[in-house]
Structure 1
Amino acid sequence: MKQHNKTIVLLTVLFIAMFSISMFLYLSTPSIFLLLVMDYIVCFSYLFYKKVKLNRNTVITRL
């Protein structure tokens, strides 16, 4: 349960940090494509993390 809460907090902090960086870059260089690229990076990093977590759990259950 604590590990799950820590994961949610970590992902929330990561999302806020990436969103802040993307907004800063968007306001300094007005390009909507840059904002979309940063959002895609956040989404794909989340999906990659979920995949790694799933693989780690399957390895643990096999042991």
Structure 2
Amino acid sequence: MEKKLVNKMIINCFKQYYEADSTPLGDKDLEELTNRIFRIKEEEPTADLFEVVNDAVYEFLTN
């Protein structure tokens, strides 16, 4: 799984909640979310990447 792909998926997922220029996501947060997604995929290899990304972004925004 490529880090660039996951980063792009995270940013695209944020577009559901915010306009492109106003995303509340810094480089540190993006790195943290990416690492969390990689960990989840390691623990659950059959999990759908799209769902994992959406869940991680939603959790980030609600916590």
User: Shared fold by TM > 0.5?
Assistant: no
| TM-score of Structure 1 vs Structure 2, range by shorter chain | 0.3 to 0.5
Give the structure, 1 or 2, with the largest relative contact order (CA under 8 Å, sep 6 or more): 2
TM-score (norm 1): 0.39
Q: Which one has the largest radius of gyration?
A: 1
